[in-house]
Structure 1
């Protein structure tokens, strides 16, 4: 009984120091791999133009940093990604134009609301992102997610952001 109590307390302590909050649309990201039957999958040619995320933080280049991580996560999931991290696209129309020029089916935009280490002894990393995926031909919203995550003081912003992005893009 004593061991069970210690296990419960340790679990509460560990989960209390790291937190994630997320909300997403009911729809999922377009599927890259579709099951045809129990033994075979077909890969869809899903092309996404990744627009550099807007930076609403005091941290320089937070939007570019987050965009770079998103690119890596999407590539690992099998998406074809076109990105130009150095460019500044500030409207849905210009993002749509860039996606059309790239021949993409979709374009992804968003913003970074938090990208910092919290003040205090531990200096925990904290990240907050909003991502939206639109159809290139109509600018119709396909998928959207907003999430925030923090980690232990030994964690980094990069790993915290990557874990958050993975959670946001996986239903």
Structure 2
């Protein structure tokens, strides 16, 4: 056990993190793309906010080559129409063209403060890691959380996204 811990620390310090998911190796040294999140909430730009937090967490976990989004930002009139699905599809095609190995795609299902005296923050997400060019989903997770009235939605979102990413990166 001690040797495994030393090896894991050495790999992390070297910046080479390889994960084994279902018999396949997934490397943070490969190219990754973070696709635009689909926003299933009534909160404008919740998807973009979740993407920003997720990108920071991926960099902190060792992803070195992370491509983000599409060539064009979301237009206000598109946000309510398709919730970001067109941008996500376009980003997936762009990732395939650029020969990205893995994409992380997500959906924001909740991003708000509960109605009431305390106004507790509530968030909910689904994430998927897809291996390209096959388009095979190699990991999927969903999580949500309600925080305390003194918490910010973004803080609770960071906690939930961190938990989801840790489930993915720590599974062997």
TM-score > 0.5, shorter chain as reference: yes
Q: Which residue of 1 aligns with 2:38?
A: 54
Q: Which residue of 1 aligns with 2:20?
A: none
Equivalent residue pairs, number: 138
Distance in 2, Cα, partners of 1:161 & 1:103: 30
With over 3 angstroms needed to count, the CA separation of the structure-2 counterparts of 1:150 and 1:38, relative to structure 1, is closer
Q: Does the residue aligned with 2:66 lie in a helix, a strand or coil? A: strand
Unmatched runs of 5 consecutive residues or more in structure 2: 17-26, 75-83, 168-172
Q: Please report how far the alpha carbon of residue 91 of structure 1 lies from its aligned counterpart in structure 2 after TM superposition.
A: 8.1
Q: Which residue of 2 aligns with 1:84?
A: 69
Q: Does 1:111 align with 2:72?
A: no
Q: CA RMSD in A?
A: 2.5
Q: Which has the larger radius of gyration?
A: 1
Q: Is the CA contact 2:37–2:88 (under 8 Å) kept in the aligned structure 1?
A: no
Q: Is the CA contact 1:82–1:102 (under 8 Å) kept in the aligned structure 2?
A: no
1:168 to 151, 164, 168: 164
Task: Name whichever structure is richer in helix by fraction.
Answer: 2
| Highest RCO, 1 vs 2 (Cα 8 Å, sep ≥ 6) | 1
With over 3 angstroms needed to count, the CA separation of the structure-2 counterparts of 1:38 and 1:57, relative to structure 1, is closer
Unmatched runs of 5 consecutive residues or more in structure 1: 1-33
TM-score in terms of structure 2 length: 0.71
Distance in 2, Cα, partners of 1:115 & 1:93: 22
1:145 to 123, 141, 146: 141
